[in-house]
Structure 1
Amino acid sequence: MGSPNSLSRRGFCLCCVGGATFAASAGWLTPREAYAEARGLVSLIKDSAAISPITASRLRNNISVLEGSGGNIAVLTGSDGKLLVDAGIRVSRAQLTNALAGLGTDPVTHLVNTHWHFDHADGNEWLHSAGAKIIAHENTRKHLLGVQRVEDWDYNFLPLGPGGIPSEVFAGSHKLGLNGASISLKYFGPAHTDSDVSVTFVEANIVHVGDTFWNGIYPFIDYSTGGSIDGMIAACDANLAATDKDTIIIPGHGKPVSNKAELQAFRDMLVAIRDNVARLKAQGRTWDETVAAKPTAAFDAQWGQFVIDPGFFTRLVYQGV
């Protein structure tokens, strides 16, 4: 990894585009220094989550989306209790508690993790203590049970306490009935990680696709726990096939209310950059030479303005082609 890479810290790092902002840091750093900084980047994300406001957008059929703590969180309300899709970061507990209260007095009874990453599962323990049964893919449980290293962040995540570990896991698919809604959970296979699932609210025609879709920004792909660029594209294809022009799509990061057209644009961007990088790699270009060739240039103005900058995204794709 010892090659130069610039990192812009615009927005809320890996978390919310609309959250607290940090000044951009200039200069050239290795991916190890820039993207991980050991505890540095993760600490920045947590520090920002501790003070970032949470905003709610009401969708339809008693479903809302919350933005401001880690990934975008979907909430289904009703007399059976609130179901959350993703838990955010635990230091946001006060803000998230207030945001949930604003959606009604029903207690939290269910939580689905779309995958294991801390900005989606770090709040598991306190939500379980508030009454949530935690449901996830079996690989999410596996990763949360032990120390998990993310090499590209140069960071070792400690296991969650017993209350934060999903008590109900599945391998391929799972169905729930809650508050009059039919809820379908489906495993993608290796994509952003090896633990990603989608959560579809059937009658409402709303789907939370987790970090297989970053709306308007280059995504992180976690090769340390089974992610791949081809898997990300396959997940997009699966979601495009399962949605229509009226489907509300909730991405893991970026603008929290999206649609099929924006998902299609994300998928087309991934394919074009994968093909550009694969062509350069097949020509024998090194990692640095491929970055220097700017294979993302046509997309940088729209997609490259977040923490995953063009150089780092090129390196992620290079690993997988």
Structure 2
Amino acid sequence: MYSSHTNLLGRNARSAFGTALIASTFAWSALARAQDSPVIKINAEAERSEIKVTPLRGGVSMLEGSGGNIGVLVNPADKFMVDAGISISKDKLSRALAGLGPAKVSRVVNTHWHWDHTDGNPWLHDAGAEIIAHPRTAAYVAKTERVDDWSYTFHPLAASGQPKVLVSTRKQYTVGGEKIDVVAIPPAHTDGDLYVHFKNADVLFVGDTYWNGIYPFIDNEHGGSIDGMIRAADLSLKMAGPNTIIIPGHGPAATRAELEEYRAMLKTIRDNVAKLKGQGKDRDAVIAAKPSADYDAKWGQFLIDPAFFTRLVYDGL
């Protein structure tokens, strides 16, 4: 059964991901030339994109096309969501959710504070959903926050979209026959990351601690670090069994073997950068040394290019 799901995800999710991300790559390149923020271009891509729904297992689906990956568990009484996407996608996301069944969304878990995972909170709350997040996520979306690496300042979410149910360690839910673990992660991508594990379906949403097939963004300014990302991958591997479907924050659904490959990539590049930094080389010299060269052909072709990723690793050590 898992093999058929894996083939479906490999064929459909990767195709959708590739199309959307290639478009985003061109947008990012144009953006870099214009000295503009990627947030503006990613919003524009979300405005253009349709929402693609990929059934996973046990009533859980993955929705793509509104920033980060979104998860939805459907049962006759309600829907349980992982992440809220970008608000500009409201109408298209509403239609996609309606296509999964008539039940309303009762809960939304934010895996972290970034806008492409939280911007839809207000309209979902206004439609009846409870918003769940880490305390640090709640703090960030309640005030003005600057991400210098994106050249962008985020304003507070509307009060209705600010999370009221806070998870600092672990919280469990039962929705229909599905048991759900919401688990706080030690600082990794940010200092307010959460995992969501649909235990019966064996589908694990890990947010932006994992970007499948591409170098990840690390929010050093908000508690993230390369070492934290490696620890988060280790935690994901402990939580995942041999047949777990692993859903990254960006990129196609993954297997355990793909997550192991990602973890090895992070560790090798981290060690390469640390060695050069330990020799007294400044950031520009480390970037020029190309410590990620063995991985760039596969991992460095999309949003975070090799130089950008090396800078993030260097700054986080």
Q: Does 1:19 align with 2:20?
A: yes
Query: Which residue does 1:274 correspond to in 2?
Result: 270
Structure 2: which 5+ residue stretches go unaligned?
1-15
Query: Which residue does 2:188 correspond to in 1?
Result: 191
Residue 35 of structure 1 deviates from its aligned partner by 9.6
Q: Does 1:284 align with 2:280?
A: yes
Residue 179 of structure 1 deviates from its aligned partner by 1.9
The answer on whether the counterparts of 1:216 and 1:254 sit within 8 Å (CA) in structure 2 is: yes
Q: Does 1:209 align with 2:206?
A: yes
Residue 285 of structure 1 deviates from its aligned partner by 1.1
Match of 1:117 among 114, 118, 137: 114
String of CA shifts for 1:129-171, please: whole Å, max 9, x gaps.
1111111111110001100111211211000011110111121
TM-score normalised by structure 1 residue count = 0.90
Q: Does 1:45 align with 2:29?
A: no
Report SS of the residue matched to 2:57: coil
**Alpha-carbon distance in 1 for matches of 2:26, 2:70:** 27
Residue 98 of structure 1 deviates from its aligned partner by 1.3
String of CA shifts for 1:13-55, please: whole Å, max 9, x gaps.
xx9654271573799x9xxx839945x3211111111121111
The answer on whether the counterparts of 2:25 and 2:303 sit within 8 Å (CA) in structure 1 is: no
Identity of matched residues, %: 50
The answer on whether the counterparts of 2:61 and 2:73 sit within 8 Å (CA) in structure 1 is: yes
Query: Which residue does 1:9 correspond to in 2?
Result: none
Aligned-residue CA RMSD (Å): 2.0
**Alpha-carbon distance in 2 for matches of 1:23, 1:272:** 25
**Alpha-carbon distance in 1 for matches of 2:33, 2:161:** 27
String of CA shifts for 1:46-85, please: whole Å, max 9, x gaps.
1111121111110111110001101000100012301110
Q: How many residues align?
A: 301
Q: Which of the pair is proportionally richer in helix?
A: 2
Query: Which residue does 2:137 correspond to in 1?
Result: 140
Could you say if the C-alpha distance between residues 22 and 259 of structure 1 is closer, same or farther in structure 2, counting changes exceeding 3 Å?
closer
Could you say if the C-alpha distance between residues 44 and 199 of structure 1 is closer, same or farther in structure 2, counting changes exceeding 3 Å?
same
Matches within 5 A, 1:221-236: 221-236=218-233
Could you say if the C-alpha distance between residues 61 and 89 of structure 1 is closer, same or farther in structure 2, counting changes exceeding 3 Å?
same
Residue 311 of structure 1 deviates from its aligned partner by 0.3
**Alpha-carbon distance in 2 for matches of 1:35, 1:172:** 42
Q: Does 1:131 align with 2:128?
A: yes
Q: Does 1:252 align with 2:249?
A: yes
Query: Which residue does 2:159 correspond to in 1?
Result: 162
Match of 1:77 among 48, 64, 74: 74
Amino acid at match of 2:309: F
